[in-house]
Amino acid sequence: MNFIAMDFETASAKRYSACSLALTIVRDNQIADEFYTLINPQAPFFWRNVQIHGIHERDVADAPTFPEVWEHIKGFYTPEKLVIAHNNRFDNGVLKSTLEHYGIEPPAYQTLDTVVSSRRLLPGLGNYKLNTVCDALNIDLHHHHNALDDAQACANILLYQGQHFGSQRLRPFIKMVG
């Protein structure tokens, strides 16, 4: 399998307030590369978000803005690429809202939500939060709500599912965005 796992953290409830992003690149069923950056959201931080992910306004003061980050990552978001996330409605929503906020046309790409695939393939977990699914599959999740650790964990969930259930069983979960 070849795909990109993404995870965003936001400064507030505003979907366009991305303050960190991680991508985990999987090629031939192996994690081949990773990308992580803080992002200056040019928006206020809400205390509850800071409490969850630990990123403060001062941490991103000198970080690139999203349009600067987009120049480095936009090649991962094309119709032939699969971009996954755990609860991808959130992460795809952050990407779309942030792009629209900056007047950048949102791309078309394939997406898969590991919450949805986990619910169908791993019944009986009680809930399907990232840490719960990772615990059930013995996948390391060192710092939940650190974008890089979350993206790695998401990638490992899909790799587990592909190995144990086959990539054919995962195809129905793939949707097109954009």
Element (H, E) at 83: strand 82-85
Element (H, E) at 146: none
Enumerate helices (H) and strands (E) in the chain, giving the number of each: 8, 6
Element (H, E) at 154: helix 147-165
Measured torsion, CA atoms of residues 35, 40, 44, 46, in degrees rounded to the nearest 10: 20
Chain centroid, CA 84 distance in Å: 7
Q: How many CA atoms lie within 13 A of 164 on its CB side?
A: 11
pLDDT at 111: 98
Mean pLDDT of 171-176: 97
Mean pLDDT of 33-51: 97
Cα–Cα dist 101/120, whole Å: 34
Cα–Cα dist 123/4, whole Å: 25
| pTM of the complete model beyond 0.75 | yes
Contacts of 53 (CB under 8 A, 6+ apart): 9, 19, 20, 145, 146, 147
Mean pLDDT, the chain, rounded, equals 97
Element (H, E) at 23: strand 18-27
Report phi then psi at 111, rounded to 5: -140, 155
Chain centroid, CA 37 distance in Å: 13
Confidence at 154, pLDDT banded by 50, 70, 90: very high
Mean pLDDT of 18-47: 98
Residue pointed to by tokens 């969850």: 52
